[in-house]
Structure 1
Amino acid sequence: MGYKIKKAGLEDLDTAAALFNSYRVFYRQEDDLERCKKFIHQRLDNEQSTIFMIYVDDKAAGFVQLYKLYHYIKLQKQWLLSDLFVHPDYRGQGLSIALIDQAKQWCDETGACGLMLETEKTNDIGNTLYPRCGFEYDGNHNYYYWWK
């Protein structure tokens, strides 16, 4: 199976927003394409995230979204792999691995020390995929959130 990975720009907004909306619905969020479109537009327009989209036969099949962070121990830039999604019609074909490989290559291209991610404990697919792709589980830390 052939695929193509492309760094998304504003010209990809509609396609990226549709995939992002599907991703959010997968995580039990309300379907809201217009808000997703506005959110992705702001991230791309303000260069606040980097999105890579994967295409199969010229159809958008998935994406990975990365946010820049800084690592306090390594004293270097790192990337947060915030969002990874492959449309259900394209799952099981190695596209998630290809997107992760692209994110790793982006680390090399941008001089970053690596990738960080979190996923739900119930995400059986992700919790199997990430170790296979070289990620190490960090059982030493608890992650806490504060939202207003």
Structure 2
Amino acid sequence: MDYKIKKASLLDLNETAELFNLYRIFYRQESDVKRGKAFLKDRFQNNESDIFLAIVDGKAVGFVQLYKLFHYTKLQKQWLLSDLFVHPDYRGNGLSVALIDRSKQWCEETDACGLMLETEKTNDVGNQLYPRCGFEYDGLHNYYHWWKK
């Protein structure tokens, strides 16, 4: 399959928001393109994340979203691979791997020490994909969340 990976900009907001909505639905969230679009617009306008799109036949069919973090032992910038999604009609063509590879290249371009990610234990595809792409499972740390009420 012929594809290209490009860095998204505000000009790509509509296409990115449609994919982002499908991604959220995959994680059992209700469809809300309007709020998702506003969320992404803020990320673009405030330079708070970097998004790369997989383009096939001129259409965005997948994306990865990266957020900047800082690693306390490496004393360097690190990227959180927060969101990775490929439209179901385009899965199985290597687009997820291509988006991950572009994220690794972004680490080189931005002098970051690497990528980290988390995924649900039930995400069988992701839990097989990430080790194949060179990610190592971190069994040493527990991840906790606190949500304000």
Structure-1-length-normalised TM-score: 0.99
- Aligned-partner SS, 1:85: strand
Structure 1: which 5+ residue stretches go unaligned?
none
Aligned residue pair count: 148
Q: Specify the alignment match of 1:140 in structure 2.
A: 140
User: Distance in 2 between the 1:6 and 1:76 partners?
Assistant: 25
User: Distance in 2 between the 1:19 and 1:60 partners?
Assistant: 8
Q: How does 1:73-84 map to 2 (within 5 A)?
A: 73-84=73-84
Deviation at 1:59, TM superposition (A): 1.5
Q: Specify the alignment match of 1:18 in structure 2.
A: 18
Partner amino acid, structure 1, of 2:68: K
Q: How does 1:1-148 map to 2 (within 5 A)?
A: 1-148=1-148
The C-alpha deviation readout for 1:55-103, integer Å capped at 9, x for no partner, is 1111111000000000000000000000000000000110000000000
User: Distance in 2 between the 1:76 and 1:49 partners?
Assistant: 17
Partner amino acid, structure 2, of 1:133: C
- Aligned-partner SS, 2:121: coil
Structure 2: which 5+ residue stretches go unaligned?
none
Structure-2-length-normalised TM-score: 0.98
**Identical-pair percentage:** 74
- Aligned-partner SS, 1:135: coil
Q: Give RMSD over aligned pairs.
A: 0.4
